[in-house]
Amino acid sequence: MYKEEGFISFYRGVYINMVGNTVSNIMFFSLYADGKKRYNYSREHSSNYDTAYISIRAGIGTMLFTNPIWVVKTWTMLHLNERSSKISGFKLTKETVLEMYRKEGLKAFLWGYPISLFLSLYGMISMSVYEITCRFFGYTETNKHDKLWIIPFIAGGASKCSASIIFYPINVVKTR
């Protein structure tokens, strides 16, 4: 890649990836917070099923909206042509979107929806592990001391690692 396209080739699709991750995280955590409020969630009193339901709700809502962004990202990374090796950022994303539409129409942006909906479970695993880990270490919404700052840090890392390990093979299949 470096020899043929230069250092910039390692960042192919980074623009759309940043947009996708930003939109995805804003949507997921907004829907998750809304679910916690709507269903009176409390770490001390709510069950793991409550966490799972609120997380799945947030994951499906997010994936329904952001799947086309991830399809564009995949096309951007995998569909190399002479034009795309000379452009990057927003212009590359725009060119990719236009190419997708010209070749396949609107259906190009819908590829992978069934498997993406299944991947919505990623949020459920991640948030469930996070809440269980916080509960295990005694980090509650009423017990947030300065000395306990490390608990959400550990819980966040454990939750993302758990979900990533479980769902990585599915992401590989989806991309291919």
Using CA atoms in the order 58, 64, 65, 66, what is the torsion angle rounded to 10 degrees? 90
Q: Is residue 82 predicted with pLDDT exceeding 70? A: no
CB count within 10 Å of CB 42 equals 12
pLDDT value at residue 159? 93
Which residue's structure tokens are 């020899």? 3
Token pair of 72, please?
């564009």
Residue 162: which CATH number?
1.50.40.10
Domain that holds residue 82: 2-175
Q: State the burial class of residue 45 (Cβ atoms within 10 Å of its Cβ: 0-12, 13-18, 19+).
A: exposed
Query: Per residue in 132-150, pLDDT tens?
Result: 998 888 887 776 666 677 8
Torsion of Cα atoms, 6 then 10 then 11 then 14, to 10°: 160
Question: 70: which 2 tokens?
Answer: 């991830």
pLDDT in tens, 150-176: 888 899 999 999 999 998 888 787 777
End-to-end CA distance of the chain: 19
Residue 47, Ramachandran bin (φ over 0: left; ψ between -120 and 50: alpha; else beta): beta
Number of structural domains found in the chain: 1
How do residues 25-78 score in pLDDT, each as one tens digit?
999 999 999 999 999 988 778 888 999 999 999 999 999 999 999 898 888 877
pLDDT tens, position by position, 87-136: 667 788 888 899 999 999 999 998 888 888 888 888 899 999 999 998 88
Q: How far apart are CA 71 and CA 90, in angstroms?
A: 16
Task: Report, in angstroms and rounded to the nearest whole number, the Rg of the chain calculated over CA atoms.
Answer: 19
21: number of Cβ within 10 Å: 14
